[in-house]
Structure 1
Amino acid sequence: MKVITVSVLGLLLSLGFASQAFAHTTVEVEPYKIEIGWGLEPPIVGIRNDIVFKITEPGEVPGQYTGVSNAFRNLEATALFGGVSKKIDIDSDPRIGYYFSPIIPTKTGTYTMDLKGEINGVPINVQIPVEDVESTAVLDFPPTSGSSNQDVTSLKNAISSLQRDVSTLNDGSENDGGAAYDFAIFGLSIAAAAIILAIIALIKRK
């Protein structure tokens, strides 16, 4: 029973690592393979993460690759987002060929890593996009956006109803200019004021 349990856990962990690596991007600059991605996936805006690098070269056995030591000795990494760039510091992972750089993504969207320099005399000049950073909505529980959307929909419906009522009152066939008309206008004014206050409260809550 213990063997089965350990096997199942191993399989789950393997699937987890496979899904994580699946989102990474790999480019080849002969003879090297450079793989880049996020340490935690999906990457969420405002949450500390790492840009992770895996740099390998062909091993002694055909088809197998081994990690490259001191790959960033003469290689610089720059994070790009839109028109903004930042040179990042690279730390070595205990595993040979693995490196990482701590980062807190502050905006959602696509980040790109620009690598320039050389590895053991081989020129490197590549830009590699990584998985898009997402908003906290993918992890929020309970959801925070549902009630806001419902409020906006309710306000839109109330405004539409108010516009229809005003159009009806302004119709000459139903407007006798008497006390009933004045009272109706007064009621609609109160409704309009309530809608305005609701909009202000909704904006402040966001």
Structure 2
Amino acid sequence: MVAMFLSVGMIPTFAHTSTNIENYEIEVGWVTEPPVVGIRNDIAIKIIERGEKEGTFTGITSAFKNLDATIMFGGLDKQIDINSDPRPGYYFSPIIPTKSGTYMLELQGEIRGTDIDVKIPIEDVESTAVLDFPATSLYDNNVGALEHSLKNLKEDIALIKSNSKGKYTDDSESPLIFSILAISLSVSAIFIGILSMIKRT
């Protein structure tokens, strides 16, 4: 049932942003809200022309024939491909947002002789915390990262001790490398101990 609701042709409208350019109204937003980092989503675009009678409008077909769309985040931008929805005037573009924060859609070109040059903000992308269950904590993330580093350091030290071929083959460098890894191992262990003490308090 949910899959059908989110399928192409059934684009819901939540926190979408609208702008008017002469006779056209352009509305932009996410298909699935809230948008979450790392989860596939689609940018939904609706381009219509309002009718004389209130509540009526005409969807603009082939709107992107001479119109380019660019997704922007911070100082980064990427031109995106636009797909047509079965309903006239509705378009979408698949995307996997990789950072939380505000995204912007820039539209440049023309629609049926009307020049278009506009930047439209889209609802902020959120971290996975909004959907996580059970919720993860900063403590869990830090400990997990440190434990992973400790595991890698232990493996490297074991390789040095066993004089594993293909890694650290220069015997003159092995004592120095061993010392550095041993120090790193000790520091990581201390950090894990501190974090454990903080969690218990």
* TM-score, scaled relative to structure 1: 0.63
In the alignment, which residue of structure 1 is the partner of 2:21?
A: 29
Query: Aligned partners of 2:80, 2:193: CA distance in 1, in Å?
Result: 42
The aligned runs of 1:34-73 (5 Å cut-off) are 34-59=26-51, 61-73=53-65
Counterpart of 2:37, as a letter, is V
Sequence identity of aligned pairs in percent?
59
Choose which of 117, 131, 134 in structure 2 pairs with 1:142.
134
Compared CA separation, residues 109 and 201, structure 1 to 2 (3 A): farther
Secondary structure of the 2:129 match is helix
Is 1:78 the counterpart of 2:78? The answer is no
Shift of 1:63: 4.5
**Could you tell which deviates more after superposition, 56-65 or 100-109?**
56-65
> Per residue, is there more strand in 1 or in 2?
2
Answer whether contact 2:13 2:31 (CA < 8 A) is retained: no
Compared CA separation, residues 202 and 32, structure 1 to 2 (3 A): farther
Where does structure 2 lack aligned partners over 5 or more consecutive residues? Answer: 6-11, 144-185, 196-201
Compared CA separation, residues 195 and 84, structure 1 to 2 (3 A): closer
Query: Aligned partners of 1:106, 1:202: CA distance in 2, in Å?
Result: 31
**Could you tell which deviates more after superposition, 60-69 or 29-38?**
60-69
Query: Aligned partners of 1:105, 1:196: CA distance in 2, in Å?
Result: 32
Counterpart of 1:126, as a letter, is V
The aligned runs of 1:112-123 (5 Å cut-off) are 112-123=104-115
Query: Aligned partners of 1:41, 1:93: CA distance in 2, in Å?
Result: 19
> Per residue, is there more helix in 1 or in 2?
1
Compared CA separation, residues 49 and 67, structure 1 to 2 (3 A): same
Query: Aligned partners of 1:142, 1:198: CA distance in 2, in Å?
Result: 27
| The structure with more radius of gyration | 1
In the alignment, which residue of structure 2 is the partner of 1:180?
A: none
In the alignment, which residue of structure 1 is the partner of 2:121?
A: 129
State the number of aligned residues: 144
Where does structure 1 lack aligned partners over 5 or more consecutive residues? Answer: 1-12, 14-19, 152-193
Query: Aligned partners of 2:193, 2:90: CA distance in 1, in Å?
Result: 50
CA RMSD of aligned residues (A): 2.7
